Structure 1
Amino acid sequence: MTDGVMTGKSQADGSRGLFMALGAYAFWSLMLFYMKAMKHVSPVEIVAHRVVWSVPFAFILLVAAGQVQSVVGAFRQPRLLAMATLTAFLVILNWSTYVWAVTHDMVMEAALGYYINPLVNALLGGLFLGERLTKVQYFAILLACIAVTVLTINAGGLPWVSLIVAFSFGFYGFFRKKLPMGALQGFTLEVLVLALPAMLYIFWLISSKQDHFVAGTSFDVTMLLLAGPITAIPLILYAGAAKLMRYTTLGLMQYLTPTVLFLCAVFVFHEPFSSVQLVAFTLIWTGLVIYTWSALAEQRRAGLAAA
C-alpha cells in the first residue's frame, strides 16, 4: 500500500514537473515576440528593466518561501558575493546578446547558439568537472566545431552572436552549479547585484530624455513593467521542474526553445536561410542526436549496473 502511495506521488510530481518545464520553455519561446514588439527600444534599456522589475517579483516569492535571511546573509560572505557577481555578469551578457539578436533580425543566430549550448555544456563538464566523455560524444562536439567553421568561412568571420549566446549560458550554468544557493535565492542575489547599475542607467536615460519609461507610450511602460515577471517566472518554473523531473528528460526538453526560435525565424520573420546555414544546422542537429543518444545509452547502462 505504501509503495502504491509513493508511486502515485512520484507520478504526480513528475506530471507537475513536466507542466512546469513546458511552462518555462513556453515563456522563453514567447519572449521572442515580446522582444520583437520592443524592437524600437534599446536592448540595454530592455535588459536594465528586466533586472530592476525582477527584484520586487523575486522578493515577494522569497518572502513567501521564508528565504529572505539566506540572501541577506550572502552579502556578508565576500566569496559567495563574488561568485554571484560573476554569474550575474554572464547572465546579463546572455540576455543582452539575445535581445540584440532578436531586435536586429538575427533570430536564426540566437537559435543556433542555444542549439550549440548543450554541446558546450558537455565540453565544459569534460574539461573542468572531470565528467568523462565517450569518443562518440567528442565526435558530436567535433561536428559542432565543423559547423562553426563552415559558417565562419562563409561569412568571413566568426558567428559571434551564436558563440556568445552558447558560451555565456554554458559558463553561467557551470559557475551557477558551484553557487551554494537554491534557484530562487541565487536568482534574487544576481538581480540584486545588477539592480544598482541598472537603476543608474535608467535614471541617466530619463534625465537625458532618451528613455521609454517616463517619456514613452503607455504600451512601452506596460511592456517594460512586464519585463520582470517575464524574466523571473520561467527561471523559477525551470528550477521547480528540475527538482521534480528526471534531469535527462528535462535536458531533452531544452531543444524546444531553439526549435521554436528556428521555426519562427524561417516561417514567421522570413529571415534568409542559405544552403550553407542548412549544412551548419544539419551538422549541429546530427551532433545533438548523437550526443543525446549516447548520454541516454550511458545512463541506461548505469541504471542496469546499479540494479
Structure 2
Amino acid sequence: MTPAPALDRRGLWVAAASFVLWGVMPLYWHLLKAVPSLQIVFHRIVWSTILVIGWLCLKQGLQWWRQAVSKPRVAWLLAISGTLIAFNWGLYIWAVNAGHVVETSLGYFINPLLNVVLGVLLLRERLNAAQWTAVGVAALGVLWLTFNYGSFPWIALALAASFGLYGFVRKIAAVDSIPGLGIESAYLFLPALGMLLWSETHGQGGFFGGWGLGLDALLIVGGALTALPLIGFAYAVRRIPYSVIGLMQYIAPTMQLLIGVLAFGEPFGSDRAIGFVFIWIGLAVFAIDGFWRSRRRAAPAAA
C-alpha cells in the first residue's frame, strides 16, 4: 500500500498567508478612513488592474487575453462577476470604516454555507444529511441574529450574497483565476479611472496633494493587497486538497471578528454570541463532514 501524498508545504503556507492577509484588511482600510469609501474602491480597481494586467502582459504578452475571451460566454460572465466584486468591495470598505467590522465577518462566515445553497439550487448538487444539518443550524443562527441583532444584518447578508454569486459566476466561467481577474479588472478600469479624474477636477478628490503622500502610497499599495491574496489563493488551490482550503477559509472572518471586537471596540454581547455560535456549529459540521469524505475518497486511491 502506497502512503497518501504529503501536503505541499509551500502551497499550505501561501494559502495561510492569503487568508491572513484578507483577515487583517480591516486594519488597512481603517488607515484610509479619511478617504471616501467609494474613492478607495476606485483606487483599488485602478491600481490592481495595472498590477495584474501588467504582470500578465509581461509573462505572456496579449496571448492570455485572446485565449480567455475566445471561450464561450467568458466575456459577458466576467463583466457580471466584475460588477459583483466591485459592489462587494465597496460595501465592505464602507462597512469597515463605518464601524461594522463584526457584521462584515458575519457575512464571510455565512458565505461558505450560501455557496452550498447555490450549488443545490443552481447547479443541482446534492447534499447529504450532515450537510443539510450544517445548513439548517447555520440558518437558525442567521435568523437569531436577524431578530436579536438590534437591526437587520443587511450588510452581512449583502456581502455573503454578492461574494457567493461572484464565486458562482467564476465557477461557470471557463477561465483561469488570474486571467479572469485581469479581464474583470479591465471592465472596471475605465469607469473607475473616469470617476477618480472627475473627483479630482471637481474638488472632491485629494490624491494629488490633498491627502498627503502617506495616504497616496497606501491607496497604491491597496491595489497589490487586492491582487496578491487572489493570486496566492489560485496558486495554493492547485497544490493542496480543497478540503484543507475549505477549513482554512475561516481564518479570515475569525480574524476580522477579533479585530472588530478587540481593536475597534465594537459590541459583542450575548445576543450576538448566540447567533455566531449557531453559525460556528454549522460550519464545524460542514467542515468535518467535508474533511471526512475527502479522507474516505483518498483511501482507495492510496491503496
Task: Name the TM-score class by shorter chain.
Answer: over 0.9
Structural RMSD (CA)? 2.1
Distance 2:95 2:46 in 1: 22
5+ residue gaps, structure 1, are none
Q: Please state how far the C-alpha of 1:301 moved relative to its aligned partner.
A: 3.0
Secondary structure of the corresponding residue to residue 244 of structure 1: coil
Is residue 139 of structure 2 the alignment partner of residue 145 of structure 1? yes
Q: 261, 272, 279: which is aligned to 1:284? A: 279
Distance of 1:184 and 1:156 partners within structure 2:
40
- For structure 2, list consecutive stretches of 5 or more residues without a partner in the other structure: none
Q: Which of 119, 129, 152 does residue 158 from structure 1 map onto? A: 152
Residue 268 (structure 2) aligned to one of 270, 273, 281? 273
Give the % identical residues: 36
Structure 2 match to 1:129: 123
Amino acid across the alignment from 1:228: G
- State which of 196, 206, 209 in structure 1 corresponds to 2:200: 206
Q: Which is further off, 129-138 or 60-69?
A: 60-69
Counterpart secondary structure, 1:133 = coil
- The whole-number CA distance in structure 2 between the counterparts of 1:148 and 1:27 is 26
Question: Is the contact made by 2:88 and 2:163 (CA closer than 8 Å) also made in structure 1?
Answer: yes
1:53-82 Cα offsets, whole Å, 9 max, x none, are 112211232134316323145557783211
Q: 1:144 offset after TM fit, Å?
A: 1.9
Deviations 1:255-276 (A, max 9, x none): 0001111111111111011211
* Counterpart position of 2:233: 238
Number of residue pairs matched? 300
Moved more, 65-74 or 206-215: 65-74
Question: What residue in structure 2 maps to residue 37 of structure 1?
Answer: 31
Tell me if 1:184 matches 2:178. Answer: yes
Report the CA distance between 1:90 and its aligned residue.
Answer: 1.1
TM-score (normalised: structure 1): 0.91
Q: Distance in 2 between matches of 1:198 and 1:167?
A: 23
User: AA paired with 2:106?
Assistant: L
1:299 matched residue in structure 2: 294
Q: Is the 8 A contact 1:151 1:277 kept in 2?
A: yes
Distance in 2 between the 1:40 and 1:78 partners? 43
> Residue 206 of structure 1 aligns to which amino acid in structure 2?
E
Q: Distance in 2 between matches of 1:106 and 1:295?
A: 31
TM superposition shift of 1:138: 1.2
Answer yes or no: is the 8 Å Cα contact 2:149–2:271 preserved in 1.
no
Deviations 1:106-130 (A, max 9, x none): 1000111111111111111122223
Match of 2:99 in 1: 105
Aligned partner (choices 108, 114, 129) of residue 114 of structure 1: 108
Question: Which residue does the alignment assign to 1:54?
Answer: 48
How far is 1:145 from its partner? 1.7
Matching residue of 1:22 = 16
Query: Among 69, 75, 87, which residue is 1:93 paired with?
Result: 87
Give how far 1:133 is off.
0.6
Q: Could you tell me whether the CA contact under 8 Å between 2:107 and 2:158 is conserved in 1? A: yes
TM-score by length of 2: 0.92
Given that 2:119 and 2:125 are in contact with CA atoms closer than 8 Å, whether structure 1 keeps it comes out as yes
Q: How far 1:246 moved relative to its partner?
A: 0.9
Given that 2:68 and 2:180 are in contact with CA atoms closer than 8 Å, whether structure 1 keeps it comes out as no
The code of the aligned residue for 1:136 comes to A
Residue deviations 1:1-52, cap 9 Å, x none? xx99xx9xx75x7111011112211221232211010112111100100100
Whether the aligned pair in 1 keeps the contact of 2:142 and 2:275 (CA below 8 Å) is yes
Higher deviation after alignment, 266-275 or 296-305: 296-305
1:264/1:136 Cα in 2 relative to 1: closer, same or farther (>3 Å)?
A: same
Q: Which amino acid aligns with 1:97?
A: L
Q: Which amino acid aligns with 1:33?
A: L
Kept in 1, the 8 Å contact 2:196–2:205? The answer is yes
Amino acid at match of 2:154: W
Maintained 8 Å contact 1:67/1:185: no
Partner of 1:177, secondary structure, is: helix
